[in-house]
Amino acid sequence: MTAEATGVRLDCDGPVATVTLCRPDVLNAQTPAMWRAMREFSRDLPGDVRVVIVRGEGRAFSAGLDLAVVGASGPDSFAELSTLPEADCADRIADLQGAFTWLHRPDVVSIAAVRGHAIGAGFQLALACDLRVLAEDAKLSMAEVTLGLVPDLAGTKRLVELVGYARALEICATGRRMDAVEADRVGLANLVVPGDELDDAVRDLAAALLAHDRDAVVEIKALLAGASGRSHAEQQRAEREAQTRQLRALAGHGE
């Protein structure tokens, strides 16, 4: 399907792929059709892609769930999901979560370029990325609670990992908005820049990632991503094993 039909597109330029939400007239509000398209992007990604940039057209990253889905009565509407058996409803949500979780892939580093609103599903999409560069006008909110819902697009674990349990609970349970200054202070932003410098800052970050050995970056991402679930001894063993693989590869003894 075309970007016009799904509201999202994938562009690849050598080792850099860009996912663009392209519904600027509604601040890139998201729909299940967009999520299905994004889930397929993982399968379409060329093998030489190392960095994935996620951005929104216009003045917002994403204002969250398109509220038309809330009030609709067709497939994937709240009304339709609420009638499903519990297991079927959970399976349907798992299918939609794939639009976000593929950005965790171990072989790429994902960067969210956030300007304006990143609300609800928009915030969770930014959290799905490994790194976040925020424009100074960014406004973040986990607003699902305001609809009587919970965040269900793989954002809760990432939020706790970044800001801790107590702050994550407060952010999610109140649905309040944070500006870029606070997001930076609590650890949600890697960088905050003026709005007119956002694209350049993201390109510079991508270039810095691409400047180094791909296998080393992949190994580093795996080490850090798994660190919270390992003991000190387990992490040290993982470091030794990763370094052994790198040394052998650099010496030409790899598989």
Percent of the chain clearing pLDDT 70 (strictly above): 96
Q: HSE (CB half, 13 Å, CA atoms) of 47?
A: 0
SS3 130: coil
151-177 pLDDT, tens digit each: 999 999 999 999 999 999 999 999 999
Instruction: Provide the β-strand partners of residue 192.
Output: 134
The pLDDT assigned to 255 comes to: 63
Which pTM value belongs to this model? 0.94
Residue 112 sits at φ, ψ, to 5 deg, of -95, 125
Closest CA to 8 of 21, 27, 18: 21
Instruction: Provide the β-strand partners of residue 133.
Output: 113, 191
**Cβ atoms < 10 Å from Cβ of 132:** 26
16-55 pLDDT, tens digit each: 999 999 999 999 999 999 999 999 999 999 999 999 999 9
The pLDDT assigned to 165 comes to: 97
Helices (H), the chain: 3-6, 32-44, 67-71, 78-82, 86-101, 121-128, 155-163, 165-174, 180-185, 198-210, 214-226, 232-250
Q: Which CATH number fits domain 3-210: 3.40.50.10800, 3.10.105.10, 3.40.309.10, 3.90.226.10?
A: 3.90.226.10
